[in-house]
Amino acid sequence: MMCGGLAQAINADEEIQEICDKVKSDAEKKTGKTFDVFIAKSYKSQLVAGINYFIKVHVGGDDHVHMRVFKSLPHTGSTMDLIDIQESKTHADAIEYF
């Protein structure tokens, strides 16, 4: 991972799904929706003063959202914050910086 640069997209794993599970309620609040399906599909990461995760999440049917989640450094408590969310995405939409 290059400091400051956005890494290549890779398939989501258990760790990324756990991040999604932790911020799901925040995503529902920001969008005003309830998600019965919330499955991480792929992600990119960016090393800053912590890690930004840009995650593609399947939310049912053909619908996806892209989330930017910031994970702070361990010495600051390793908190996770949903920074932003983009709706109306599809499986084919590339994950880009936002």
60: domain CATH number is 3.10.450
For 45-78, the three-class secondary structure string (H helix, E strand, C coil) is: EEEECEEEEEEEEEEECCEEEEEEEEEECHHHCC
Query: Quick check: is 95 in a domain?
Result: no
> How high does pLDDT run on average in the chain?
91
Residue 73 lies in a domain: yes
pTM of the shown model: 0.90
Does some domain include residue 3?
no
Residue 2, classed as helix, strand or coil, is: coil
**Inside any domain, residue 81:** yes
Domain count, the chain: 1
> Which residue range forms the structural domain that includes residue 74?
10-89
What does the pLDDT look like over 56-74, one tens digit per residue? 999 999 999 999 999 998 7
